[in-house]
Structure 1
């Protein structure tokens, strides 16, 4: 298995080199040269595996034996040892057709832990094996930062800097990042929104001399290992359902902002998981819904919502989907991305819209509908959803349940992380101890302007001091 760029100007590389490169050095995103096919017989053989053993099987299709099996198994076991559920990702049945896959039982109570706990351990493994300094740089709309910091705090040979939009994450998300006192952690609070943070990250990774000098590595979903790790839970959810429910295929409803979570499902489907519908749930920042329903990919005015981790206009993983949509034609991808850069939008034909809608459907959830869904499911099932997970359920109701078969909606965060929204409808909840204790801890962060030069200066000082 070799890895290439969606823009075609990165020579085929191996698994570890792909992991370390993160963003392609030509500005594209890294994808596998070919996607492995998992047969129905293989799926059947995997049906009784634990989550950890299933992940080992899936990753083994991609690693080229660059990580010995014993080492890979230990990395996986260590990554999920801190999850509070013995199933890692329990599947909760709400009614005959709707099931909720709970992805929030990791250290920071968000789905990002599923991939990032593993990636943090993998970075530490590579740093030790190759005797390298690894400086992780990422942007977050809330959950990625906390999870990434949790995965590498205090680890030898690794520094991490996370950019988050100042005042545009939940209080718990902010505290999970900024109360960490380890010297290998730097939090930059940017006066802007997530897209501003993400753009600066892309520019810094595209600055090859800067990236090389400071050994920059990616932990955002621009890193394909993050996508691959997330694809595993689509296999797992499918296999956890009773055989009679999955016989005709399974549908998924997926809260998403950066297109990574749904692209992971798209990858699982291309690998062979019998997925019928992929329903993309957005909030009022609905560029992805308009892309799927109208064929227009164009950022519009930013709106603050009750689901801030999805308050994203420019979706990094859109380019990965575009690559497969264009028949793996890197030249066509490059041309479209250059057009998007020049014109600020991409327009798709009616024929192309039909093709897109064969891959996925979409539904945009308003702030009001989000809160109504939380209230409704609390009343009917005594099940408390966080606002992002509620968007997934609302999309299942609004766009997804027109199809046949079982539906799995992804619950991406614990409701305690977004208590501000839940209190708006009069619901009081008890915080887990690990969240409650955050409110008494001192914070450490640096507020910066939305400027690449200012952030580069912060990084130079941080990496110089900590190396």
Structure 2
């Protein structure tokens, strides 16, 4: 298997080659030249596997250049009961158990890791993959990433203490929850650098892309990324779609649907890849908050990003994104993997703010009618919906969910086909967004042991403007390169 850029770079790369780099040299995102297919016999055999063994079986299809035994050791080291211990049923061995809310409606627990968010599912594996690869190459890596809330802490907890790795993590200043902020800024490891950017998440993401596109600086400073623009992050997320499907069905003739709270499109992009591999997924439902650029696209075919001033700061802050970087991977497939046209469309995003695939007058294409062929639909949830859903889920099912998961449940109930099981992907544990839980329910969210007073811990971070040159100077100062 080889990897190609969505924007047409001619070189073909192995999994190990693209693992440390993030963006392709032409500014595009890496995808396999073809998606590996799963057989009915494989899917049947996978029903018997542990999560760790399922992860190595799927990863092996995308990383044939890494010995299978090494992959197995890496996934067994990653997916352990000691790391993923916060399951509601107390059985940490299940890693991502399904919680039945009612007949045909399930919540897949993905927040059982060390930072209580789904990002741990991929980030813990990525940390071990990085360390494995750097050891092989006798190399170092400076990770430069951006977070709207959960990616940052998941990356830092996965990379702290790792040999040859530093982490520079950007976050929007004063726009995360108090819990999210404390998780990141209270770390005092020597290889962790937290940078609060005076802007919104999209500004942070633009800084990461600008620095990554300076190829000389990237090589000199050994820059890599852990954002979901990194292909390995997405592949690791593919695994829990397979686990969710296998847990909800008893035969391979059945279908399921997934609803996914979506901001940067990485989580649901993994579902798209699982479906392209042959997993029997009926619907992939995109659930957005007030920042509804993706909902607008899947309803109209028009993709129109918002500027920083028009990006809302909401009670589901990890989805406060108006320029979803992983969306490019889906559009690449939607337009028939035409990299020249893909590059032209995303140039329009930079110059005109978006593009139009509706097929209407003046549009850039007519692919909107093909979206249903990929199983996608969408819906939107706002703050009042969030509060109502949190209350309803607690009263009806006896479960407290976080704000993003509430967005997903609200949209899932609107979109579900009762003949097909619907799985809502959990985003985080409610303790991470206690301010809104208290507003909805009148009391605090439960906290797992060890997180009781996290907001009171001393915090270490620097505040910086949206300035590429100042960011480069700061990185250079800390690395001494």
Same fold (TM over 0.5): yes
Q: Distance in 1 between matches of 2:141 and 2:349?
A: 32
User: 1:424 Cα deviation (Å)?
Assistant: 0.7
- Residue in structure 1 matching 2:395, options 379, 389, 393: 379
Query: How far does residue 357 in structure 1 lie from its aligned partner after superposition?
Result: 3.2
Q: Point out 4+ residue stretches in structure 1 off by more than 4 angstroms.
A: none
Q: State the Cα deviation string for residues 301-338 of structure 1 (Å, max 9, x = none).
A: 21111100000000001110111011111111111111
Residue 404 (structure 2) aligned to one of 388, 392, 410: 388
Aligned partner of 2:208 in structure 1 is: 201
The answer on 1:309 being equivalent to 2:326 is no
Task: Name the SS for the 2:113 alignment partner.
Answer: coil
Pairing partner for 1:171 from 173, 178, 185: 178
The structural deviation recorded for 1:406 is: 0.5
1:5-50 per-position Cα deviation (integer Å, ceiling 9, x unaligned): 0011140011100112211110000000110000122111111111
Does residue 401 (structure 1) correspond to residue 402 (structure 2)? The answer is: no
1:413 alignment counterpart: 428
Query: How many Å apart are 1:379 and its aligned residue?
Result: 0.5
Conserved 8 A contact 2:104-2:418? no
- Ranges in structure 2 where 5+ consecutive residues have no aligned partner: 86-91, 360-365
Match for residue 73 of structure 1?
A: 72
SS of residue matched to 1:160: strand
> Partners of 1:140 and 1:76 in 2: how far apart?
25
Residue correspondence of structure 1 range 84-233 to structure 2 within 5 A: 84=85, 85-233=92-240
Shift of 1:69: 2.1
Q: CA RMSD in A?
A: 1.3
How far off its partner does 1:260 sit? 0.6
Map 1:38-77; keep pairs closer than 5 Å: 38-64=38-64, 66-77=65-76
For the 8 Å contact 1:172–1:435, the answer to whether it is kept is no
Structure 1 residue 156: deviation in Å?
A: 1.8
* Deviation per residue, 1:162-201 (Å, 9 max, x gap): 0000011111111111111111010000010000000000
1:349 paired residue number: 358
Distance 2:212 2:289 in 1: 29
SS in 2 for 1:442: coil
Instruction: Please state if 1:455 is matched with 2:471.
Output: yes
For 1:437 and 1:158, how far apart are their aligned partners in 2? 29
**Shift of residue 71 of structure 1?**
1.8
1:217 & 1:176 partners in 2: Cα distance?
22
How far apart in 2 are the matches of 1:86 and 1:253?
Answer: 24
CA contact (8 A) 2:4 2:13 kept: yes
SS of 1:363's equivalent? strand
SS in 2 for 1:435: coil
- Tell which deviates more after alignment, 365-374 or 449-458: 449-458
How far does residue 70 in structure 1 lie from its aligned partner after superposition? 2.2
| Structure 1 CA distance for aligned equivalents of residues 44 and 301 of structure 2 | 38
Task: Please point out which of 331, 338, 354 is paired with 2:340.
Answer: 331
CA distance in 2, matches of 1:175, 1:226: 24
CA contact (8 A) 2:143 2:223 kept: yes
- 1:27 maps to 27
Query: Partner of 2:382 in structure 1?
Result: 366
Q: C-alpha displacement at 1:243, in angstroms?
A: 1.3
Take 2:410 and 2:476, find their aligned partners in 1: how far apart are those partners?
A: 44
Whole-angstrom distance in 2 between the partners of 1:438 and 1:402: 41
Deviation digits for residues 329-362 of structure 1 (CA, Å, limit 9, x no counterpart): 1111111111222211111124422212332000
Write the distance in 1 (CA, Å) between the matches of 2:417 and 2:106: 16
Aligned to 2:446: 430
**Could you tell me how far apart the structure 1 residues matched to 2:178 and 2:93 are?**
29
Q: What residue number does 1:273 align with?
A: 279
Does the Cα contact within 8 Å between 1:136 and 1:161 map onto a contact in 2? yes
The alignment partner of 2:228 has SS state of coil
Q: CA deviation at 1:435?
A: 1.9
**Matched residues in 2 for 1:157 and 1:272: separation?**
38
